């Protein structure tokens, strides 16, 4: 483990004792959270399920950055199947023109978190959380709603699962400033759009003098 001495002490506890599955959307969103979970001594596994990201080269780039960081911290990482076509059908169809924080994003969160919850339930994890709401461009309540629904569904499908949703606010407790530091320290590739083609289209229409040059 190569943990920074600057890791922010975790000011919240998981809602259940046992292994934590952290659904991670990208390295910039995950860096500060992950180092704090590890520093707190939690048994954490990273779950990568981000079929929303396109094109494939962009997906691979973001995945590679997080793999590099997990290897540095010695954290196990599970990579879900990439299926952008399924994501388009199940999460985006009919919602292509919805704005960010709208109905497409709710469906997108649910698509990814359902896969994470199912994996967590099958593998006997105690709780599931996500880095999705750590970005200031995301709506925490939308992510929370999707996480709760995903865990409820997984518990229905996997008999005996006691999986619990950990709806933590990862923007609090000093994690937001530390997030920016980790991005710099690790020299993470930092995307300028959320992930799907619709968000890329929206980002490309933002004036170049806007402060939204990085998606953090
Ligand atoms: S903008 Fe981001 S969260 Fe919303 S649908 Fe696209 S990839 Fe998903």
- Ligand 1, atom 3, residue with closest C-alpha: 105
Mutating to test ligand 1, I would choose from 25, 86, 100, 205 the residue with most ligand atoms within 8 A of its C-beta, which is: 100
Among 2.60.120.10, 3.60.9.10, 3.40.50.620, 3.40.50.2000, what is the CATH number of 20-190?
Answer: 3.40.50.620
Bigger pLDDT: 208 vs 35: 35
Is the minimum distance from the CB of 52 to ligand 1 under 6 angstroms? yes
Average pLDDT (118-144) is 95
Where do the domains of the chain lie?
20-190
Apex CA 137: angle with CA 167 and CA 120, to 5°? 35
Instruction: Tell me what pLDDT residue 202 has.
Output: 85
CB-count burial class (<10 Å; 0-12, 13-18, 19+) for 56 = exposed
**What is this structure's pTM?**
0.94
Classify strands 20-23 and 127-130 as parallel, antiparallel or unpaired.
Answer: parallel
* Helices 175-186, 27-39: inter-axial angle, 10-degree rounding: 110
Q: What is the pLDDT of residues 40-62, one digit of tens each?
A: 999 999 999 999 999 999 999 99
């Amino acid at each position: 483990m190569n943990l920074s001495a600057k890791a922010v002490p975790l000011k919240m506890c998981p809602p259940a004792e046992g292994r934590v599955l952290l659904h991670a959307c990208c390295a910039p969103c995950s860096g500060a959270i992950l180092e704090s979970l590890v520093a707190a001594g939690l048994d954490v596994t990273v779950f990568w399920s981000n079929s929303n990201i396109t094109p494939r080269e962009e997906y691979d780039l973001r995945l590679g950055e997080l793999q590099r960081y997990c290897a540095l911290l010695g954290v196990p990482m599970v990579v879900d199947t990439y299926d952008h076509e399924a994501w388009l059908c199940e999460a985006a169809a009919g919602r292509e023109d919805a704005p960010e924080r709208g109905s497409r994003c709710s469906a997108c969160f649910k698509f990814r978190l359902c896969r994470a919850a199912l994996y967590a339930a099958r593998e006997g994890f105690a709780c599931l959380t996500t880095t999705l709401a750590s970005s200031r461009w995301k709506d925490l309540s939308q992510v929370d709603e999707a996480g709760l629904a995903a865990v409820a569904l997984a518990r229905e499908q996997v008999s005996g699962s006691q999986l619990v949703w950990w709806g933590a606010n990862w923007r609090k407790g000093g994690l937001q400033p530390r997030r920016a530091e980790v991005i710099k320290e690790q020299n993470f590739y930092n995307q300028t759009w959320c992930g799907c083609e619709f968000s890329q289209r929206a980002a490309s229409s933002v004036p170049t003098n806007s402060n939204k040059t990085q998606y953090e």
